[in-house]
């Protein structure tokens, strides 16, 4: 068929309009995220007491996260942060790959686990300023933020008030496997998982998550002067050790150094304990090292001290008759970003009497 000049002009005009319309269609913006965890070097060594300073005790065992709760925030007016998207993700543990961190954070070049599967969120069409907050765990968690669940949050206050339940025994035993993005980590002046999506169409946030629970590292030694006696019945040996008054309520997800209790947990049954080694094996009667993880907290009116209580028994004493209670009040810097590594070094240079003591450390 032969086209006339008039028809050709119309077709060319329509083609030009279609090309123009296609050029006006805005390309959808997207957020690419990478999840990273600190990788503690695990030393595989035969069992027995640890005696070298700096040795973290028995080889630490961690389980890689199976769940991630991701919260994408937006700020359209420069003042108000809103929760734009919240999503629970099930992670494939085989996709955590050990590598070296090479980003801009203070822990660069440390060993990390990086989640290799791509995580992508389509961004809001208005492309405002954004932030990402994330909490990861090897177990499914129960949350609360002043009566709201994790998928019911609306603004930054809701998000920062989000807590997870630590009370189940299964969670207490897995506190070392829970990580989050601390709200006050800002090495470059702004929250470290922020992004500006006002220009461009693809944005990347490299998230390095950190422990929400503090490591308590216990080392003990019985001096030769009290453990070597001509009469074996007079020799002192440490046969029972237990950590008491541990936090077992709802703990902050993104404010790990802000957990507070209205009063000191009472003694007796009904509060959380951590059995260090109970009873102590013969090889650990005089020297040894162990660790556990717990949520750091302070008591209202107690000058931000974290009150860790140790119950100890000697010479065959067990839980029912151990009589030495030592309360260690560790100074808590509530403005700190990261949870502490608490060291407890006990040297027994005389027989323990049935009594209680309180010592303030780190002040």
Segment 202-220 shows an average pLDDT of: 88
Per-residue pLDDT, 153: 98
Q: Are strands 298-299 and 260-261 parallel, antiparallel or unpaired?
A: parallel
Confidence of residue 161 (pLDDT cuts 50, 70, 90): very high
Per-residue pLDDT, 134: 97
Closest CA to 202 of 33, 86, 324: 33
Rounded CA-CA distance 332/338 in Å is 11
Give the pTM: 0.83
300 burial type by CB count under 10 A (0-12 exposed, 13-18 middle, 19+ buried): exposed
Query: Does position 216 have pLDDT exceeding 50, yes or no?
Result: yes
Per-residue pLDDT, 136: 97
326 burial type by CB count under 10 A (0-12 exposed, 13-18 middle, 19+ buried): middle
Residue that wins the pLDDT comparison between 24 and 253: 253
- Contact (CB, 8 A) for 118 and 142: no
Bridge partner residues of 211 (DSSP): 179
Segment 304-332 shows an average pLDDT of: 81
Segment 143-161 shows an average pLDDT of: 97
252-309 pLDDT tens trace? 999 999 999 887 766 544 456 666 656 677 778 888 888 889 999 988 877 778 888 8
Per-residue pLDDT, 326: 82
Query: Does position 345 have pLDDT exceeding 60, yes or no?
Result: yes
Rounded CA-CA distance 87/68 in Å is 8
Domains of the chain, start order: 30-211 (2.60.40), 214-361 (2.60.40)
Per-residue pLDDT, 23: 41
Residue that wins the pLDDT comparison between 247 and 362: 247
Rounded CA-CA distance 162/253 in Å is 6
Confidence of residue 108 (pLDDT cuts 50, 70, 90): low
- Looking at 34-48, 66-80, 109-123, 176-190, which range is the least confident one? 34-48
- Looking at 162-171, 184-193, 259-268, which range is the least confident one? 259-268
Rounded CA-CA distance 175/212 in Å is 8
Please give the helix or strand (H or E) that residue 144 lies within, else none.
Answer: strand 143-144
- Contact (CB, 8 A) for 241 and 311: yes
Query: Does position 226 have pLDDT exceeding 60, yes or no?
Result: yes
- Looking at 43-47, 55-59, 238-242, 249-253, which range is the least confident one? 43-47
Per-residue pLDDT, 340: 86
Please give the helix or strand (H or E) that residue 24 lies within, else none.
Answer: helix 5-24
Rounded CA-CA distance 82/153 in Å is 9
Return phi, psi of residue 195, to 5°.
-150, 150
Q: Are strands 163-165 and 178-180 parallel, antiparallel or unpaired?
A: unpaired
Confidence of residue 41 (pLDDT cuts 50, 70, 90): very low
């Amino acid at each position: 068929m032969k086209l006339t000049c008039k028809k050709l002009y119309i077709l060319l005009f329509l083609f030009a309009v279609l090309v123009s319309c296609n050029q006006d269609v805005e390309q959808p913006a997207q957020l690419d995220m990478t999840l990273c965890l600190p990788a503690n070097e695990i030393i595989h060594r035969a069992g027995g007491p640890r005696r070298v300073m700096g040795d973290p005790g028995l080889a630490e065992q961690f389980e890689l996260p199976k769940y991630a709760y991701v919260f994408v925030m937006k700020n359209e007016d420069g003042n108000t942060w809103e929760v734009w998207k919240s999503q629970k993700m099930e992670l494939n543990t085989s996709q955590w790959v050990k590598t070296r961190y090479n980003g801009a954070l203070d822990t660069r070049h440390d060993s990390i686990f990086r989640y290799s599967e791509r995580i992508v969120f389509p961004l809001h069409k208005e492309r405002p300023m954004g932030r990402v907050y994330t909490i990861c765990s090897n177990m499914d968690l129960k949350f609360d933020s002043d009566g709201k669940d994790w998928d019911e949050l609306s603004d930054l206050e809701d998000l920062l008030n989000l807590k997870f339940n630590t009370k189940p025994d299964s969670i207490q035993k897995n506190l070392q496997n829970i990580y989050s993005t601390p709200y006050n980590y800002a090495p470059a002046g702004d929250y470290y998982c922020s992004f500006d999506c006002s220009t461009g169409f693809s944005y990347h946030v490299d998230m390095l998550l950190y422990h929400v629970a503090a490591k308590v590292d216990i080392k003990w030694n019985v001096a030769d002067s009290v453990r070597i006696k001509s009469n074996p019945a007079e020799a002192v040996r440490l046969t029972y050790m237990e950590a008491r008054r541990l936090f077992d309520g709802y703990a902050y997800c993104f404010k790990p150094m802000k957990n507070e209790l209205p009063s000191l947990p009472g003694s007796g049954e009904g509060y959380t304990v951590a059995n260090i080694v109970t009873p102590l094996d013969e090889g650990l009667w005089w020297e040894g090292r162990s660790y556990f993880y717990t949520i750091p907290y302070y008591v209202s009116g107690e000058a931000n001290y974290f009150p860790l209580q140790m119950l100890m028994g000697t010479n065959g004493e067990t839980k029912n008759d151990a009589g030495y209670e030592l309360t260690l009040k560790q100074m808590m810097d509530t403005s700190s970003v990261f949870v502490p590594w608490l060291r407890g070094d006990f040297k027994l240079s005389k027989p323990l009497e049935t009594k209680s003591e309180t010592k303030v450390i780190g002040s």
